[in-house]
Each structure stands twice: as C-alpha cells, then as structure tokens.
Structure 1
Amino acid sequence: MPISFLCPLCIPSCFLILLTALTTLTPASPSHATNILTYAGINLPGPEFSPSNKPGVLYKDYLYPSASDYAFVVKKGMNIVRLPVLWERVQPTLNDALDATQLNLIIKAVEQAKAQKLNIILDVHNYAKYNDELIGTDNVPISAFADLWKRLSLQFANDKAVIFGLMNEPHDISSTTWAQAAQAAINAIRSTGACNNLVLVPGTAYSGAHSWLSSYYGIPNGEALLNINDPAKHMAFEVHQYLNENSTGTTGECISTTIGAEKLEAFTNWLRTYHKTGFLGEFATGNNDTCNQALEGMLSYIEENADVWLGLTWWGSNPWFGPDYPFNLHPNSDGSDKPQMSILESHARKITKIHK
C-alpha cells in the first residue's frame, strides 16, 4: 500500500507558521548554517522499566528522573535529555484517553527539564509494538499509533523544548509498513497545529546507523523512508549505534579504535546526498582504551559533519542500573563521575557552549 504523503488537515496550520519563519526554519535546523551541532545530552531511562508489569508501581517497577538528575545533566554541559516512556502505561487502551497519572508524570518531567533550560525528547520506547503486537497488525493498526501521537501532540503542541521521538528501535516490522506508520504519526502531529515540535523518525532494524542501507528487513530504511514528508519541515532521522560485535549494545567492548566514525559514515553520506538531517538517539561505549578512542572518534566525526547532524544523546544514566552495566553515567555514590563522562562532557560543552 503506498504511503500517503499528504496531510490535508495539517498543511494549512503548519504552512502559515512556515511562512513567518521561512528565512530561518529549514529541514536541517538553523544552527547548521555555521556547522555547529544543536544538541548534546543523555538518555534518562526509567519510565519504561518493567514492561511486563503494566501498569506497574511507581518507584518499585519503574521510576521517573528526579530534579537532581536534570541538574546533573546541565552541570555536565548538556542541553537535552531523552525520556523513554512505555506506550501501554501512557495509553492503557488504544484509541482512548491518555492515562492521567502517567500524563502528569510526563508533564512534571517536562517542567523539571525546562526549569534547567533543557530540551526533552519524549521517546515511545516500544520497539513498534503494543502489548507485544506489531504496529500495522489487526490489533494494533497504524491508525492507533497515529492516535497516540495526536493526543501527545495536543498536550505539548508548539513547545519547542519538547521533541517527539516517534518510536524506539522498531524491529520485526518491514521498512515499508514502518514508513506508513511514521508518516501517519507525523500527519497526526501536524494536524493538531504542533508545527514547532521537532519530530525524530527512526527506521526499522533497531534503527541502526550501520544498517540504514541494508536490505535484510526488506527495502532498506534509506529507501523506504526517503520520501517521508513533514509539512512543517522540522524533522530528523534518528539512528542508534553501538560499537561492539554486531552493534548490539549488549557488551562494553568496541571492535576497534576507529569503529565509531566508521559505523556512521554510510548514514552520514546518505544524509548529505539526500539533504536530510540525522540525530544519534543512542550510543555508548565501555570504559577501556579501545572504546575511549572509538568514542572520541565518533563524537569528533559527528561534529565534523554537523551540516547533516543535529545532535546526540548517550545511553544512559539511571540509579537503578547495576554496578556491572558498562554504559551507566549516573554519578558514583561518592559523587564522582564515570570515566566516559569526561569525554562526553568535553564534547558537549563545545556544542552547547555551557561552561563550568
């Protein structure tokens, strides 16, 4: 079934806003005129924890970040957080009202982030599934996914600090079906008049940068998503990239000292060829010499290609992560930083200009 690229309801409202911002708003973000990244930050997971326990008990099965978590992010020179949430908690019944408790928790998170002058990505952390059933199936039609985003966008419409991350790491869904779902969500968002919220569009196959042009899920993401249309011209393609064997992010090892930049090269070339913009929504490395060099190279590569990259968010920081989890940048019990933070912080401050 062909993707519908037209959004009759959303074009008028967003088009009027575009007319007033035509000299500054472009698909690649205004900051790219000077080749400087816009965002540098970190994931603050927790609201999506214990997905098998729904709705779950707050601070037993799942948690939301505290005010001190947001303060810590700013202290490290960052200007954005990515907040994963669980669709089934946010909307217990498809095509029905958002859960008042969860919505209030999200609103509080947005307020706490903005109090620190942080931007916040609302990341639906569901892998293109609802109650283990894929989007695009009889029980979870694409229209239900669009309904979720329409309801969320009505709540946060035109708050420029709030970014809409359509879905975390879709997989087991064809690229063509996912493209239809992503387009439907964008149409739903813009139909509410939410034209100033940046939208992040992932691909299938876990949205890996390294596999963006691979065809093992059918048509490559780089082909299936090429003609996604945003009436507001304010979107970016979100990819994730880990540097261990098979790019799974299940260990803290890195293949080589140069693998960080190498894994991003093909996707970066695609962005430039087709005049698109990218966002690195998840990346992380363990603490060892090989990974530290790979991380340094990865961040430097993105900065050098800031004409097509918008920003990045490390995975992740959470007090519930165990001591053996290699990617956790939550401060140690004595307040000291994890070793990788020094690398991330130095690059973040160059991007955000937030100084100590």
Structure 2
Amino acid sequence: MMKKITFLFSLFLLCSVCFSQTRPTAPFGLNLAGADFGENFPGVYGEDYYYPTEMELDYFAAKGFKLFRLPFKWERIQPVMGGPLDTAELKRIIDFIDHAAQRNLWIIPDMHNYCRRKVGEVYELVGTSKISTNSLVDAWVKIAKALRYKKNIWGYGLMNEPHDMPSTDSWFQIAQQLITAIRIVDSETPIIVGGDAWSSAAKWLQFSTHLKDLQDPANKIIYEAHVYFDKDGSGAYKYSFEEEEATEQIGVNRVKPFIDWLAKHKKRGFVGEYGVPDDDERWLEVLDKVLAYMQQNGVYGTYWAAGPRWGNYKLAVEPINGKDKPQLKILARYLEANERTK
C-alpha cells in the first residue's frame, strides 16, 4: 500500500509540471542569460553567476514570447571531466525547465562554452590532448539522460559559437560524435548544432555548409546561426551607427546566406542570437527589417539578451525599474515566423 501511495504521489508531482502545449511551428523568443556569467569556476551561485527567475519568465511570456535559450557552463554542470553532474547545478536547470513547463514555454539548454573548457587559467579546445571529444560526449550523454523526459525542451544546444578550431572539419566531427552518442539515450529530443566560426550567418557558406552532411537517425537536427550588425559582426557595437558602417538592410544581407542555405538543403534552423543597442533608433530599424525578413522566410530566433544582472548593457531587454527597453517594441511585433512554403 505504501509503495502505491508513493507512486501516486510521484505521479501527482509529475503532472504538476505537465506540459500541455503542442509544439509551435517557429516561435520567436529570447536568451535568458546569467548562468553563463563569470570566469570563476565553478564559482559561487548568486555572486559569480545567476539563473533567470520565474518573474522573468512571467514578464516575457506576458509579452507573447514562447521560446527561451538558457546558456549554462560545462565547468559548472560537470566540475570534473568524466565525473558525475553537479546535483545542485542540475537542479537549477531542471527547476527552470519545470517553471517554464508550468507556463507552456519552451527551453533550449545551451552549453555556452565556444568548444572550450577552462583548465587552470587557460581555455583549452575540445578535440585536443587537453580536452578530448570523449569528455564532451560524456557530459552530454549524462545531461541528456537527466533531461530526456522533459517535454518542453525545444532542443539540446550542443555548443555555443565554436570557433578557431584545429581544422576545418573539427567541429563537424565533434558534433557527429555528440549526435550519435545522444541518440543512444534519447531518440526524441531535437539536437541543435551551431555553425563554426562563431556560428556566423554571414559566413555560413564559407565555414559551415558541410554541416548539412551530419547524420541523425532521428532526423531532428536544428541548425543555429548568429548575427550581429556592427562592422565586425561581434555584437560589441563599440562605435556609432555611422562608424559601424551600418544600413537598414545590413541585417537582411548578413542573415540571407544562412536562410538561403536552409531553403536550398531543406534543413531546419533558427537564429540563436541577434541584438542591437538601445541608444539609437536606427538600430531598431535594422532589427525590424531583419526580423520581418526572417519571419517571411519561416525562420525564427532568440534575441540576445535578457536575464538577471545585465545592468546598463545596451543590448539587454531586461526591464529596468519595471520599464520596457526600446528594443522590446520591435521584438513584440514578431512572435512566430510564417510557416515555410517551399
């Protein structure tokens, strides 16, 4: 009898975070950053880094957003390579996913490591003698085992912005090993593969077109590109609109290679990061045009960024003293991309 009661109670708890919403076609959303903050690992939670709150989910859900990319750090979820996942850190991730599920929201857990891991004071590349690919595979298999029953995960974000890899096919080989290993423990959850060279949408054909040959037995790969509109495409926006040589069409021009590639190869994809400063209305016009172009072409995205403790970061759309940031009036116009017709 006691076992039956325990089972029913567990079932009740499970149902309390049940996810009832059908998967939307192409929802726009935001990055809720904070868990990726800091260079001190693992660091002190609440001082070095932070997870977004339920209040933030409520605020942005009320604006109509359904998709949230959650950056986290490998060094924190698995402090020792090959070791167990950190239970406290895993709970923070699961709690956030469950809070989102209660609100019928979708989450992308995003390993925000640039295909690197900090060893001592140095960031070492994955796929080298310092950080083996098998170490990363081990981490993702354990993460997938822990999260595979969460029905509101949009996809596993394998790695944020791989760049400056040892060879042109290094990231391809790493991504394929990750996909193959994850599929042994989870055949259902989509897998999100960022492009090489900082996932640049503008340089997708130069650095990432070969990713089309990745094999997934579940056929659920989602490709991820990033795009910013300053002169060097870094998103730093160090200079004025004129000095950055920006135009209203610069966003469309930079994202077009990726969008055309998706259509040509009949692949699924989204733009995982884009953002503009809040100090010049012309940047808002750039944002408006690129989001309209994405929407028309059936490609959605997540804005960079929201989340706790951004302070005066000029790209952030976290409200200050309850006041909406200027970028939000543009973002709120684009809540879902049109269904692709070709």
Q: Which band: TM-score by shorter chain?
A: 0.7 to 0.9
In structure 1, which of residues 46, 55, 79 is the aligned counterpart of residue 34 of structure 2?
A: 46
SS in structure 2 of the partner of residue 148 of structure 1: helix
Alignment partner, residue 213 of structure 2: 227
Residue 184 of structure 1: how far off its partner (Å): 0.9
> Structure 1: which 4+ aligned runs deviate by more than 6 Å?
349-352
For residues 138-157 of structure 1, the C-alpha deviation after alignment (integer angstroms, 9 at most, x for no partner) is: 12111111111111111111
Alignment partner, residue 185 of structure 1: 178
Residues of 2 paired with 1:340 and 1:247: CA distance?
19
Residue 212 of structure 1: how far off its partner (Å): 0.8
Residues of 2 paired with 1:319 and 1:134: CA distance?
29
Distance 1:153 1:61, change over 3 A: same
Distance 1:202 1:350, change over 3 A: closer
Residues of 2 paired with 1:190 and 1:141: CA distance?
20
**Partner letter of residue 175 of structure 1?**
T
For residues 265-324 of structure 1, the C-alpha deviation after alignment (integer angstroms, 9 at most, x for no partner) is: 111111111111211100001232321111111111111111xx3x2100111331122x
For residues 230-251 of structure 1, the C-alpha deviation after alignment (integer angstroms, 9 at most, x for no partner) is: 1111111101100111111001
Residues of 1 paired with 2:231 and 2:222: CA distance?
27
* 1:262 equivalent in alignment to 2:253: yes
Residue 256 of structure 1: how far off its partner (Å): 0.8
Distance 1:43 1:266, change over 3 A: same
Distance 1:126 1:350, change over 3 A: closer
In structure 1, which of residues 187, 193, 198 is the aligned counterpart of residue 190 of structure 2?
A: 198
In structure 2, which of residues 285, 293, 302 is the aligned counterpart of residue 313 of structure 1?
A: 302
8 Å contact 1:160–1:196 — kept in the other structure? no
Query: Could you say which structure has the greater relative contact order, defined with CA pairs below 8 angstroms and 6 or more residues apart?
Result: 1
SS in structure 2 of the partner of residue 247 of structure 1: coil
In structure 2, which of residues 314, 335, 339 is the aligned counterpart of residue 348 of structure 1?
A: 335
Match runs of 1:270-349 below 5 Å: 270-287=261-278, 288-306=280-298, 309=299, 311-323=300-312, 325-333=313-321, 335-348=322-335
Residue 158 of structure 1: how far off its partner (Å): 4.6
Match runs of 1:109-148 below 5 Å: 109-131=96-118, 132-148=123-139
8 Å contact 1:316–1:329 — kept in the other structure? yes
Alignment partner, residue 244 of structure 1: 230
In structure 2, which of residues 79, 84, 88 is the aligned counterpart of residue 101 of structure 1?
A: 88
Q: Report the TM-score when normalising by structure 1.
A: 0.82
In structure 2, which of residues 56, 65, 80 is the aligned counterpart of residue 69 of structure 1?
A: 56
Identical amino acids, percent of aligned pairs: 33
* Cα RMSD for the two superposed structures: 1.9
Instruction: Structure 2 unaligned segments of length 5 or more: list them.
Output: 1-22
**Partner letter of residue 187 of structure 2?**
C
Residues of 2 paired with 1:128 and 1:102: CA distance?
20
Residues of 2 paired with 1:152 and 1:319: CA distance?
24
